Amino acid sequence: MKIYIFVDMEGISGVSGSDFVTASGAHYQAGRRYYTEEMNVCASACFEAGAKEVIARDGHGAGNHFLWDQVDPRVQIVQGQTGPVRMWGLAGSDALILLGYHAMAGTPGALLEHTYSSATIQNMWLNGRPVGETGIDAAIAADYGVPTILVTGDDFVCREAREWIPGVHTCEVKKACSCQGAMLLPRKAAHDLIREATIAAIRDLKNIKPLAVTKPVTIRREMVERQSTPNAAGRPGLTIIDGRSYEKTAPTAEQAFFV
């Protein structure tokens, strides 16, 4: 059994604001440690539940935040840029886990809510439905026939995951107080929950299907600033809506995602 873990930082237990997730932040090195620790906890639980192979994608920002010398030696990690492939090595996986996720842009009260880029993207839609990273990444996994079985993070992203993915398991490791604050569980309690949720999700794997997405897939982006839309010339399926919005229609979610 092969399990793929896509890891983001905002929803990691112990992270309560921007200072933990940006390289210039006062608590960034602590954030990297929490990030690596929580991935190790999840990966170890995957092996405990019967996985023979675990791949962890460093999915926050530029993808270079894992502390390599502290990674569980059984885990293969994917770091850095992977071109037009969102989850390099996903093919052939039995399941996807979205670890440390956050709510979509504009979610009132959610911790560090955004969709891919708080600096540039105001909103996104998948086939006309408002969507965040959880929905799009589950859709991309479905391109490969891979079900998303577990989403972890704050209470808002757990609710969002259940609204998007039928049967998905969720693990709430903190409650959001605001965009820049959260009520955190003790470290051991949070890690125990991650372990238990991972094992439960893997044991329930056969009952969770890949996200059903109507094809072709259309992903629309509304940007924060005017004049930030791409040039549509020579790009099949790309349509400029207005000065801030554009969409791409393609055979798969992954192809629609990358412009």
Please return the burial class of 90, using the count of CB atoms within 10 Å of its CB with bins 0-12, 13-18 and 19+.
Answer: buried
Residue 189: what are its φ and ψ, rounded to 5°? -65, -45
CB 245 within 8 A of CB 221: yes
Residues with Cβ within 8 Å of 223's Cβ and at least 6 positions away in sequence, in order, are: 120, 121, 122, 229, 244, 245
Marked catalytic residue, from 27, 60, 102, 114: 114
Is 102 one of the annotated active-site residues of the chain?
no
At a CB cut-off of 8 Å and minimum separation 6, what does 77 contact? Answer: 55, 56, 57, 58, 66, 68, 71
DSSP 78-116: E-S--TT-SSTT-TT-SEEEEEEE-PPTT-TT-TT--SS
Burial of 245 (0-12, 13-18, 19+ CB in 10 A): middle
Q: Indicate which residues carry an active-site annotation.
A: 114
